[in-house]
Amino acid sequence: MAAQPTSSSKDATPTGPHKHPVDEKLPALKMATSGLQHVAAMYAGVVAPPLIVGAAVGLTATELTFLTGACLFTAGLATFLQTLGIWKIGARLPFVNGVTFAGVAPMIAVVNSTDDKSDALPVIFGAVIVAGVLGFFTAPFFSKAVRFFPPVVTGTVITLIGISLMPVAFGWAQGPNPTADDYGSTTNLGLAGATLVIVLLLRRFTRGFVKQIAVLLGLVVGTLVAIPFGATDFGPVADAAVVGFPTPFHFGAPQFQLAAILSMCVVMVVSMTESTADMLALGEIVERPADERTIAAGLRADTLGSALSPVFNGFMCSAFAQNIGLVAMTRIRSRYVVATGGGFLVLMGLCPMAASLIAVVPRPVLGGAGVVLFGSVAASGIQTLVKAGLEKDNNVLIVAVSLAVGIIPITAPEFYHAFPETAKIILDSGISTGCVAAVALNLVFNHLGGGRAADDEVTSPMDPQPASIH
């Protein structure tokens, strides 16, 4: 049925005589290859969170394969919601959705605070469901409150996401088992270093599609290099079925714990903030600016996808910024191309053998690629901060204090040791605490009276400031 024109799609309707490029359906071959390119650009990002959380929980290789496949499957479903849309759900832009990095650190905190690790995933799933439902109903209001999440806040949070995940990459580089004799050995660190170099060389000396999948190719080549060192185990592939389905609540019925729910609600705010910024950027790139209605519809898709994801053993879903860069580079703006990519994700999730391939990759190889992957997230945050007006004294203070608060769990892991365990679930997540600090400080310095003038400028954060005259 033809869509009716709206304020966010006034250029043309999908069936109109002058289709907007966003609504074009390309030839089948181009649709398939372009869709695969989007999958390649975000594949490593989708499988990294289940690998991190699954390893923390202590899942077997078979269970890790199942969890990875479930996240691929739910990422495909969330992408369908966002690109094709139903009712008032979905931005209907070439918008890729998948597991958000923002939730990794809080989920690890939940795992670490759970005595029985078999309960960790059900607790996480319960928290994500509640956060997703609450986010769905607050999406219209959040789209109106976006002024409280300027680049100084979003840039700080995205930077903290990358910084908070770097220790994970360093842990991977040392090996899978901290108690093993070869943990941190020159062989493991050498494999990580070699993978990093391979990715950097591919990014430097290749172009187009190959450059876009440099991380994926680095994982493949790094795994091949690791074979002679006995670091590669092909058992998960041999044991995996060709066809499978992510059985609902495979790891147990969801459990609802207040501290975990509060932590994931903070992550949901972070995720919705990132998605809003991404929709605004993507709207400009495809020349269909995202208005308040589009943002609300897009946030509904994010949050509904997140609420449904745990049913099929997946995690919280959000936009993938790297795919926005791919749209800008290729100038292929069709949302149906991205929907095709979502179809490939669903098929991969239904094929455990395909999902098991990532379990073959040695942990040190993942660590080498993780340096690039997580570092790129931090770099994206810094790029946002560049646009945040850091010549303003207020913004310098917001970033400085928020980053300091956010890196406490990384630089001083025992800082909150005297707090109750329920509080530590939130406090031990630098992303959550940094986000709260950034939002609160932005309100105090840039929205409420009594602070310094918003136009106070600094040439350096360390420069002495003239006393204000009142």
pLDDT given at position 225: 92
Q: Residues 302-321: pLDDT tens digits?
A: 999 999 999 999 999 888 76
Q: Residues 135-149: pLDDT tens digits?
A: 999 998 888 876 677
Residues 6+ apart with CB under 8 A from 375: 162, 166
* Whether the predicted pLDDT of 445 surpasses 50: yes
Domain segments of the chain: what residues?
26-446
Task: Mean pLDDT check: name the lowest of 288-302, 312-326, 404-418.
Answer: 312-326
Looking at the chain, the whole-number percentage of residues with pLDDT higher than 70 is 86
Give the residue with greater pLDDT, 340 vs 216.
Answer: 340
* Whether the predicted pLDDT of 89 surpasses 80: yes
Task: Mean pLDDT check: name the lowest of 47-56, 63-72, 187-196, 445-454.
Answer: 445-454
Q: Residues 198-238: pLDDT tens digits?
A: 989 988 888 876 776 677 788 889 989 999 988 887 776 77
* Whether the predicted pLDDT of 159 surpasses 50: yes
Can you tell me the mean pLDDT for 234-244?
A: 73
Can you tell me the mean pLDDT for 359-372?
A: 83
Give the residue with greater pLDDT, 433 vs 240.
Answer: 433
- Annotate 179-219 with DSSP letters as a single string: TSTTTT-HHHHHHHHHHHHHHHHHHHH--HHHHHTHHHHHH
Q: What are the b/e assignments for 292-305, b being 16+ CB within 10 Å?
A: ebbbbbbbbbbbbb
| Distance separating alpha carbons of residues 185 and 173, to the nearest angstrom | 9
Confidence of residue 459 (pLDDT cuts 50, 70, 90): very low
* Whether the predicted pLDDT of 455 surpasses 70: no
Contact 42, 322 (CB under 8 A): yes
Mean pLDDT of the chain: 81
pLDDT given at position 17: 54
